Amino acid sequence: VSFNINELACENSPFIYSFLSHRTKLQDVRSSLIRQSNEALE
């Protein structure tokens, strides 16, 4: 099944936007946790 990603993004843009921003927040949290634990180990 092929679909147009732009059509999909337009239909679901609030969902996709919130999903992407949520995922970036998780990555930020994870990287800051890793940074903190690295500093604690030093």
Token digits for 27? 């990555």
What is the per-residue pLDDT across 17-39, written as a single tens digit (0 to 9) for each?
Answer: 777 788 888 889 899 999 999 89
Is 1's pLDDT higher than 60? no
The structure's pTM equals 0.48
Q: Where are the domains of the chain?
A: 5-41
Cβ count near 16 (within 10 Å): 14
Q: Alpha helix locations (H) across 1-42?
A: 5-11, 13-41
Determine the Cα–Cα distance for residues 12 and 30; give it in Å rounded to an integer.
27
